[in-house]
Amino acid sequence: MESLKLPKDTMLGASIVTITGDREAFIENYKGIIEYTTESIVLQGKNRRICFEGKRLSIDYYTNEDMKISGSIEAVRYV
């Protein structure tokens, strides 16, 4: 990876989570949606699940590559 100068997340297929305050999260490289309620959204990454917990959570959009979650995000856990 180092000699090719490619980003590690691309080579490893790792999920990228970008959080803006406690109101928005952008997720890239996820595999699927496991659970979706207004209090919990659980996504399957390549090796781990990503759990978003909060209030009034919603998925604003999603594609095969990325998604946007909005609401009052209180916690993000990797399990």
| pLDDT value, residue 8 | 56
- Annotated domain spans of the chain: 8-78
The better pLDDT of the pair 3, 76 is held by 76
List helix spans (H) across the chain.
8-12
- Half-sphere exposure of 65 toward its Cβ, with a 13 Å CA cutoff? 1
Share of the chain above pLDDT 70, in %: 84
CB 24 within 8 A of CB 41: no
**pLDDT class of 2 with cuts at 50, 70, 90:** low
Architecture of the 8-78 domain:
Sandwich (2.60)
Burial of 42 (0-12, 13-18, 19+ CB in 10 A): middle
